[in-house]
Amino acid sequence: MPSIARPALVARRRRIALVLLQIGGPDRLDAVGPFLRNFFSDPEIIRLPGLLRAGVARWIAHRRTPVAREIYRQLGGASPILLQTRAQGRAVAAQLRDLGEVRPFVAMRYWHPFAAETAESIRAWQPDEIVLLPLYPQYSTTTTRSALADWDVAARRAGLVAPTRRIGAAPADSGFIAAQAELIRRAWPGDGGRHRLLFTAHGLPLSIVQAGDPYPDHVRVSAEAVVAALGIPDLDWRIAFQSRVTPQAWLTPDTEHEVKQAGQDRVGLVLVPIAFVSEHSETLVELDREVRAVADAAGVPSFIRVPTVGVHPAYVAGLAAQVRRALATDLLQEAA
């Protein structure tokens, strides 16, 4: 009897779920209030007992919603951060095709898609491994730790069992620093006038810093690495903090204060949003419109705002390298 050829077994490609963790933003004007309530209800943001925190969150959100709605109205009614985060996910996944089937997912902290929604989608896909990639270059309990804790709850409730790797904060990651430096060089004025490089980062209440949050130290690490990469002799540079939203003491110096100081010093400004990797309300409105208006009123001779790193090739390559290292390290440890 002639032998019957059996169909060859085709091995399934390794499936890796790449989860980008980001803050999120309202996708319509009606979502501004709920987004703010979610934000201020985070125990890492408002460090009060549950019921008291909920009351304070409602009060702050109610007070800030009209102002925030106007900000998002200037952005066309929605935050652009989700579209940009998805683009970043696609760009990173494209550099990891050799590892198998790498599918990017987005889990936002304070608005859709929430971690719970994303965890359910990942469970349905049935990956072999999960990689968590927080898009916060500098670690803070209010961002990275909050996002990871939120994911842990969502993953447990969804019944995810695939091995999960976590990417740590990398304030001096070579890709991130190279992207920042290249964008600054591209934006730096060629008129020969005197300019000051001002790194601006989201602020943080001093009480959180005093509790051990490393965020301001990480911001300085990033800024110093960028300055070193630029290699400009006698560069005039400073760090400042923006976006204060509560009445307690926050990190200083304040960005608007430094802008006014530049006016007094008659020096042009090149602003770098060092802690943001996507354009959103704090860059497109706060910096580009509100802070620029302060600069104009203060007589700053030149005001240039450097774009966020977005999908800059160096930044994307740096993120992809971080994913590779995390996977390789964990696999070697498991093999041992």
Q: List, for residues 25-82, the tens digit of each pLDDT value.
A: 999 999 999 999 999 999 999 998 988 999 989 999 999 999 999 999 999 999 999 9
Question: Are both 186 and 223 inside the same structural domain?
Answer: yes
Provide the pLDDT confidence category of residue 335 given band limits of 50, 70 and 90. very low
Which two structure tokens, joined as six digits, stand for 166? 């976590």
pLDDT of residue 245: 83
Give mean pLDDT, residues 167-182: 97
Domain count, the chain: 2
127 φ/ψ angles, rounded to the nearest 5 degrees: -75, 160
180 and 61 in a common domain: no
With a cut of 70, say whether residue 97 has pLDDT above it.
Answer: yes
Mean pLDDT of 318-325: 98
CATH of the domain at 80: 3.40.50.1400
Residues 151 and 293 in one domain: no
Hey, what long-range contacts does 284-289 have (CB within 8 A, 24 or more apart)?
284/74, 284/75, 284/80, 285/71, 285/74, 285/75, 286/71, 286/242, 286/243, 287/200, 287/242, 289/74
The answer to whether position 320 is within a domain reads: yes
Asked if pLDDT for residue 109 goes beyond 60, the answer is yes
- Three-state DSSP at 238 gives strand
Whether residue 194 sits in one domain with residue 149? no
The answer to the question of residue 295 being in a domain is yes
pLDDT of residue 11: 61
Q: What is the mean pLDDT of residues 85-104?
A: 98
Sign of the CA dihedral with 35 first, then 151, 316, and 223 last: positive
Distance CA 102, CA 330 (A): 17
CB-based contacts of 65-71 (< 8 A; 24+ apart in sequence):
65/32, 65/33, 65/36, 68/32, 68/36, 68/281, 69/29, 69/32, 71/281, 71/285, 71/286
Nearest CA to 60 among 32, 82, 79? 32
Is residue 48 assigned to a domain? yes
126 touches 16 (CB < 8 A): no
Sheet holding 268-273, edge to edge: 237-242, 195-202, 268-273, 303-305
CB neighbours of residue 82 within 10 Å = 21
**Residue 7 within a domain:** no
Do residues 151 and 182 share a domain?
A: no
* 22/158 same-domain check: yes
Query: Phi then psi for 14, rounded to 5 degrees?
Result: -60, 130
Asked if residue 9 belongs to a domain, the reply is no
Q: Is 269's pLDDT higher than 90? A: yes
Give me the numbers of helices (H) and strands (E) for the chain, helices first please.
Answer: 12, 8
Quote the pLDDT of residue 21. Answer: 98
In-domain check, residue 1: no
- H/E stretch holding 55 reads helix 50-74
Same-domain status, 128 and 178: no
Bridge partners (DSSP) listed for residue 304? 270
pLDDT at 192: 67
Rounded-to-10 torsion of CA 153, 157, 159, 163: 0
Quote the CA–CA distance of 293 and 282 in Å, as a whole number: 14
Tell me the C-alpha distance between 279 and 276, whole Å. 7
| Residue 267 to residue 270: CA distance in whole angstroms | 10
Q: Which residues are annotated as a binding site for Fe(2+)?
A: 202, 282
Shared-domain flag, residues 21 and 161:
yes
**What's the average model confidence in pLDDT over 258-262?**
98
235-252 pLDDT, tens digit each: 999 999 999 988 889 999
Note whether 301 and 154 are same-domain residues: no
Q: Which residue range(s) make up the domain with 55?
A: 15-170+313-335
- Do residues 199 and 145 share a domain? no
Buried b (16+ CB within 10 A) or exposed e, 111-149: bebbbebbbbebbeeebebbbbbbbbbbbbbbbbbbbeb
Q: Are residues 194 and 264 in the same domain?
A: yes
Residue among 182, 200, 201 nearest 142 (CA): 201
d(CA 149, CA 153): 7
Of 299 and 4, which is predicted with more confidence? Answer: 299
70 and 216 housed in the same domain: no
Residue 2 within a domain: no
Q: Which residues are annotated as a binding site?
A: 202, 282
pTM score: 0.92
- Rounded to an integer, what distance in angstroms lies between the CA atom of residue 235 and that of residue 270? 12
Within a domain: residue 274? yes
Q: Are 195 and 234 in contact (CB under 8 A)?
A: no
